[in-house]
Amino acid sequence: HYIHQVHKILEEKEKDPFASYNDSLRLKARRYITKHLLKLNHEVFGWYPYWEDSYYKELNYSLISTIAYFSYEVDPKTGNAKDIHDWKTTPVVDSAKANNCKVLLTVTNFEEKNNKTLLRNSKAVDNLIENLFSLIQEQEAHGVCIDFEGVRGSDKDYFTEFITKLHEQFKKKKYEIYVAVPAVDWYKSLDFEKLNG
């Protein structure tokens, strides 16, 4: 809910109500730096929202293994991006790679109607996959994180087919695919056996 609220506010070009303005408050941001070099035993994944334009300077990259830049906003009618924000220029991509973190582009499509429109249109799906492949290749990133919220059970096979087609294209370059899933699959929209295959 919080992410959607912030996203709506920022789409309307309003000032971010959750931001802290350190300069005006005369505060100095200091990032936490460990005294010892850490070796992570597990993947530590985090999203980096586009509106945090300079927060990359404060990240302790030794505590992160994967950063998913948020986001490529899908136009469900065409598969093109409504917006990719500053994916092509954001310094977080180079900063993460320089610190041995994997970088993903998060792909967002929210609401049942939008997912149905996209997933049942093979031309739009193919266009989306082609666009994503180009953007990942251009930034020398590691893959994508698919964040489609509101996929219904009636679109289960279409979603599986989309991920399968995406995998076929991405395996050529060994790009990775992450899928954000709900804690409980209430709508029975995920075929985990096929998605993991």
Token readout for 92 is 């977080």
- CA-CA distance, 157 to 120, in Å (whole number)? 10
pLDDT band at 37 (very low <50, low <70, confident <90, very high): low
- CA-CA distance, 160 to 115, in Å (whole number)? 12
For the whole model, what pTM was predicted?
0.84
Nearest to 119 by CA among 169, 155, 69: 155
pLDDT band at 144 (very low <50, low <70, confident <90, very high): very high
Write out the H or E segment, with its range, that includes residue 143: strand 143-149
pLDDT score of 169 more than 90? yes
What value does the mean pLDDT take over residues 142-147?
98
Core vs surface per residue 34-45: b (16+ CB within 10 A) or e: eeeeeeeeeeee
Worst-scoring range by mean pLDDT, 26-40, 112-126, 174-188? 26-40
User: What pLDDT is stored for residue 32 in this prediction?
Assistant: 56
pLDDT score of 127 more than 70? yes
Those residues with Cβ within 8 angstroms of residue 48's Cβ, 6 or more apart along the chain or in another chain = 55, 56, 67, 68, 69, 70, 92
